[in-house]
Structure 1
Amino acid sequence: DLTRERSKKPPSQFGSKRSSERDCRVCGKSSWRQLQDLCRLAKTSCPALGISRKNLYIFEVDYLCNYKKVRDQEYYLVKWRGYPDSENTWEPRRNLRCAGILKQFHRDLERELFRRSGRRPRARPPRHLDAALVDFLVQKARQRKALQRWERELNAKRAHKGRISVENEVDLNGPPWDFTYINEYKVGEGITLSQVAIGCECKHCLESPANGCCPGVSLHKFAYNAQGQVRLQAGQPIYECNARCRCSSDCPNRVVQRGISYNLCIFRTADGRGWGVRTLEKIRCHSFVMEYVGEIITSEEAERRGQIYDRQGTTYLFDLDYVEDVYTVDAAHFGNVSHFVNHSCNPNLQVYNVFVDNLDERLPRIAFFATRTIWAGEELTFDYNMQVDPVDVESTHMDSNFGLAGLAGSPRKRVRIKCKCGTDSCRKYLF
């Protein structure tokens, strides 16, 4: 969103105009836009960065800080991108060509006025804003910029097709400061993943599986149909083709390993459950949605961390107890979108154990599949205290508090935690 050519010249302390771009030196880890800002600050043209004499004094609005109306003229206090707050200027509306930022500013203003009064705000904003309201608008604008940066970071790190968006229209909470996005397990100290030694020789793994393909070798059923939907009962393991198989990457028995394919949104819930995840597009019943990833640690380490998490008020421990309770996945500080998925007593996701390149049954990959058709805009949930039919094979289940609702639960000593899912079948407590 570009504004008019700014009427005042940049402050003189930024130096005189330089004739040669060779004099322009900046630190090594600056983004393209930061480099452009530095050129404008130094009043230096740089053809390589697209900064010429014609656009040298064209400035971009970072966000709007304040509003006032003098007679019939509307003015906005502008925070200019690349300039400190001390260089903010009041600009008449006619000079601003940033329709999106203007619209968002008035939307934030109307929501805060409604929150204060409980009544629908007037069609026109007040002529002057009080200090508390201005402070809120500035914090909201800064929060939105921080969430946009976080969204770009998440998408830069993701190794899957599905994009990630971030939204918070509820409070002023910004990105979690101690969370790192990863795409696969982060193996802890003293743990070794044993790589698979053989692969299948199938020409077409679904239509003509040789010796039962990879599932058949392990005496299990083929997991998917031609559309990639799981057809096994919950609790039965999924064996996908691996790196040593002759089939291609589009093999129908390679679903989980291809990663998240749906566009998802991490959003702030309005009912005190912290962050949540919703889908931005329709998800078919029995389709793969995402994996639960994090640090793989021993059960002893999980016990130690669990006691710390209890004191902090949250934990993200997921026991890998498919055959024995030896390892745990901790997604507190390293994880993917599943880190933000909330609990429900009537969930739309089901957990399956998946084996690909590592066949150690103590270290399955944890995959979420849709239990029904999930429509665009619907929140994704799973049951933290998942139980499977006793006739099924023993399955992975959640054995600790999960989510950002500020609740604590020891990974080994369960406490009664109130459930906030709000479904008709709510059990009232997580455990």
Structure 2
Amino acid sequence: MAENLKGCSVVCKVSLNQLQILCRQERVFCQQLEVSKKNLNDFEVEYLCDYKKIHGKEFYLVKWKGYSESENTWEPRRNLRCVKLLKLFWADMDQELRRRKKRRNVTKLDISLASYLVQKAKQRQLLQCWEEQLNTMRVHKGRIFVQNDVDLDGPPKDFTYINNYKVGDGIVLTEVAVGCECTDCLGNPVNGCCAGASLHRFAYNDRGQLRLRAGQPIYECNSRCFCGPDCPNRVVQRGIQYDLCIFKTANGRGWGVRTMEHIRKNSFVMEYVGEIITTEEAEKRGRIYDRQGATYLFDLDYVEDVYTVDAAHYGNISHFVNHSCNPNLQVYNVFINNLDERLPRIAFFSTRHIKAGEELTFDYKMQLDPVDAESTRMDSNFSIAGLPGSPKIRVRVECKCGVESCRKYLF
């Protein structure tokens, strides 16, 4: 039996960090885990809970990683080498003391302040964990950051990050049957390439920037095309290219999204992704969402009001993008592997240069100036279902975008 097991291995369900903690608890040395006699008594600080100063010496109440809160200990400053956690602890304390209009020179924290600092530390852990989860789920280049300097809210509940549409019951996406035969879609398109075959202009220039009017559809090369993944007519399908941050807004608009990088005008930023459902199902869900005071229903009414995208529980970072009456993003209908005009992909492109750190927004009730038949056809009912401007609206929602041209209400 032992001979049969020779060379076998079993995956350990405990992380290396947890194994290190177990070794220290049991006073066991392990060269592979880098636990030696020299560092056996080194323990990792998870977060700091409290502070006091006695006879000019500073002490911190420490929550040790891998140990319960009942085993927290007071440690002198000289014992702590967690510089980052110390900075975060004092930054949180300063912010809360300013909010309470109290002086910073404290020798002992009151119970409410110490409780707040613990809650803030726990929240930071939850948000960090969520950030790591989001980046594990994403398949696009752009990284996702999470920040909340406003309150103690943690990650949203009942939300799953997805990268592509989740198709609801009874809905079928028909794969495209043909593709282009170009070797250089931009420089030498055959029969007008994918866009030309559908009597539309090529959507992008050589830098990947959009050159179509708002309202015109985008036809990208698909999985049947001869061109490769670097084809200039494959922009939306490459996914988010920019590092973006989900952050908590300070004026009651909930979560928002800001860019961490400069974005050029007419650049693709993100898709609106969610669960594709029928308009009948959207009506049912919309009544529930109305009572909750929020909705993420987006009508796909390019030619017919048949389907809706619901990003309430399944979506990508666009789930958190807020409305503005003067937005920096514009919505376009995009067709790639599915040419059913009732089921376009919804893409956001920048309307101007966007600076790093600026919030990304779009107008929940778009108003286009029709310049051709395509624009007129698209604009008839193109809006967020269940929000002002849509036939499904049942409540009037105050707008908090704060721009000079604000319409005061979303609709």
TM range (shorter): over 0.9
Alpha-carbon spacing, 1:50–1:242, altered in 2? closer, same or farther (3 Å): farther
Deviations 1:192-218 (A, max 9, x none): 110011111111000100001011111
- For the 8 Å contact 1:286–1:371, the answer to whether it is kept is yes
- SS of 1:75's equivalent? strand
Aligned to 1:85: 69
**How big is each residue's C-alpha offset from its partner over 1:4-30, in whole Å with a ceiling of 9 and x where there is no partner?**
xxxxxxxxxxxxxxxxxxxxxx99544
1:361 and 1:28 mapped to 2: Cα distance?
A: 50
Match of 2:112 among 127, 132, 137: 132
Provide structure 2 residue ranges, at least 5 long, that are not aligned to the other structure: 1-9
Q: TM-score, normalised by structure 2?
A: 0.93
Q: Deviations over 1:275-297 (max 9, x none)?
A: 00000110000000000000011
**What's the counterpart of residue 56 of structure 1?**
40
Q: CA–CA distance in 2 between the matches of 1:177 and 1:44?
A: 40
Matches within 5 A, 1:221-370: 221-370=201-350
Q: 1:212 to 1:410 in 2, by over 3 A?
A: closer
User: Per the alignment, in what secondary structure is the counterpart of residue 348 of structure 2?
Assistant: strand
1:111 aligns with 2:91: no
Cα separation, partners in 2 of 1:301 and 1:48, compared to 1, 3 Å = farther
Determine which of 378, 396, 401 is the counterpart of 1:395.
Answer: 378
- Deviations 1:374-427, CA, capped at 9 Å, x for gaps: 00000000000112113342337323357xxxxx99871343211000001100
Equivalent position SS for 1:374? coil
Aligned residue for 2:3?
Answer: none
Moved more, 66-75 or 306-315: 306-315
Distance 1:46 1:303, change over 3 A: farther
- CA spacing shift, 1:142–1:239, aligned 2, 3 Å: same
Q: Find the aligned partners of 2:273 and 2:233 in 1 and give their Cα distance.
A: 21
- Offset from partner CA, 1:58-116 (integer Å, 9 cap, x none): 21110000000001100000001111101111011111111111011001101101001
Residue 43 of structure 1 deviates from its aligned partner by 3.6
Within-5 A mapping of 1:162-181: 162-181=142-161
C-alpha separation in 1, matches of 2:321 and 2:287:
22
Q: 2:124 aligns with which of 134, 144, 157?
A: 144
- Preserved CA contact (<8 Å) 1:310 1:410: no
Please give the alpha-carbon distance, in whole angstroms, between the structure 2 residues aligned to 1:351 and 1:213: 23
In structure 1, the partner of 2:4 is none
Counterparts of 1:175 and 1:410, CA distance in 2: 29
1:227-254: CA deviation from partner (whole Å, max 9, x where unpaired)? 0000000110000001111111111000
Q: Distance in 2 between matches of 1:180 and 1:409?
A: 28
Contact kept, 8 Å, 2:266 with 2:351, in 1: the verdict is: yes
TM superposition score normalised by structure 1: 0.89
| Distance of aligned partners of 1:92 and 1:182 in 2 relative to their CA distance in 1, 3 Å threshold | same
Distance between the aligned counterparts of 2:30 and 2:344, measured in 1?
Answer: 53
* Amino acid across the alignment from 1:107: A
Q: Tell me the alpha carbon deviations over residues 37-68 of structure 1, each in whole angstroms, 9 at most, x when there is no partner.
A: 33333444444433344433321110000000
Q: Distance in 2 between matches of 1:304 and 1:166?
A: 32
The residue type equivalent to 1:395 in the other structure is M
Distance 2:83 2:20 in 1: 22
Report how many residues are paired. Answer: 397
Aligned counterparts of 2:293 and 2:409: Cα–Cα separation in 1: 17
Query: Which amino acid letter does the alignment assign opposite residue 395 of structure 2?
Result: V
Q: Does the Cα contact within 8 Å between 2:286 and 2:386 map onto a contact in 1?
A: no
